[in-house]
Homo-oligomer: A and B are copies of this chain.
Amino acid sequence: MEKKLKVGIIGTGRIGRVHTMSIMNQLPQVEIKAVTDIFLDSAKEWAAQTGIKTVYNDYKELLADPEIDAVLVCSSTDTHADIAIEAAKAGKHIFCEKPVDLTIEKVEAVIEAAKQAGVKLQIGFNRRFDHNFRKVKELIDNKTIGDLQILKITSRDPSPPPIEYVKVSGGIFMDMTIHDFDMSRFLTSSEAEEIYVSAACMVDPAIAEAGDVDTALITIKFKNGVICVIDNSRKAAYGYDQRVEAFGSKGKVEIANDYPSTAVWSTEEGVFSEKPLYFFLERYMDSFGEEMKQFVDALINDKETPVTGNDGLQPIKMGFAAKKSVQEGRPVKLSEIQ
């Protein structure tokens, strides 16, 4: 057997464990050489169960391990950029969870560090790899629906995060819409020119007190002329709502949610079916596996990663434009955001 690719995982919380399972289940050519977490005991217990042999006390030790080819940055958001920069300097390829950082400067610094070090950088915008969104992308790109004209993204969470989290999240546009901003760039293959937001706090007044909104309608003009609208809510009573409709000169494509079963039952009371999959991990499980597959493929076959550093940067800029639009009640050009 040829030499395996060796990776280290920094942060063994929920998403770090998901990536671990993706690698173990489907990427026999990859070995998870070591993990690290600030909650050391929990990390050790989990590593023992999964057969991972090395658990470092500090991510710096992991970065110092010369056998490790690549790292997955799965720590808390505020640490992403610093760790990624250090990883680049240590010559490790980097898979970094989103958002890379809440400031433009730091995201640019990560991109620059990776460039200087000549290491690959992939950002964890997993939805691009989802079976439904991928099919939409395919039908847009192969011109089945002609030239894209209108893009509508529905993205609603089943329930808002804790208020303490809302306060440090950078706000709905950085924390939640950021995925939709990425999706809009992915599907239009273009960059945003201007953003207008109509938003309000309708779900929980505590969110307003924390200086944020929880309901938003975001209109984006793209450079290639496509008009896009995203609608967000922090709380959809029926569960996680993740859909897209793309309309073009020759037709449209829509995707529905995924459901636990296809069962439809009819009684004297009406016709019924199940609610959409509620939990994002369950909903997007296949996408996490696929993004890891493509990250490893980029490393082994020396390709560009499918989600680049710039793909991490642009949605942050869009988030700032969205915020500004809410504050000033007017459309904001991306060129206003530095």
With the chains together, A25 CA to B216 CA distance in Å? Answer: 39
Given contacts A25-B25, A267-B238, contact A231 B233 (CB under 8 A): no
Specify how many copies of this chain sit in the oligomer: 4
B268 touches A238 (CB 8 A): yes
Q: Which of B221, B237, B330 contacts A267 (CB 8 A)?
A: B237
B251 touches A238 (CB 8 A): yes
Q: Which residue of B is nearest A259, CB measured? A: B271
Q: Which of B1, B250, B258, B268 contacts A251 (CB 8 A)?
A: B268
Return chain B residues, CB-CB under 8 Å to A219. Answer: 196, 198, 217, 219, 229
Count chain A residues whose beta carbon lies closer than 8 angstroms to a beta carbon of B. 77
B263 touches A135 (CB 8 A): yes
Return chain B residues, CB-CB under 8 Å to A257. Answer: 262
A266 touches B249 (CB 8 A): no
Q: Say yes or no for A303: interface residue by CB 8 A criterion.
A: no
Return chain B residues, CB-CB under 8 Å to A330. Answer: 330-331
Return chain B residues, CB-CB under 8 Å to A227. Answer: 198-200, 215-217, 231
- Which residues in A have some Cβ–Cβ distance to B below 8 Å? 1, 21, 24-25, 28, 48-51, 131-132, 134-136, 139, 144-147, 149-150, 152, 154, 156, 196, 198-200, 202-203, 215-217, 219, 221, 225, 227, 229, 231, 233, 235-239, 241, 245, 247, 249-258, 260-268, 270-276, 329-331
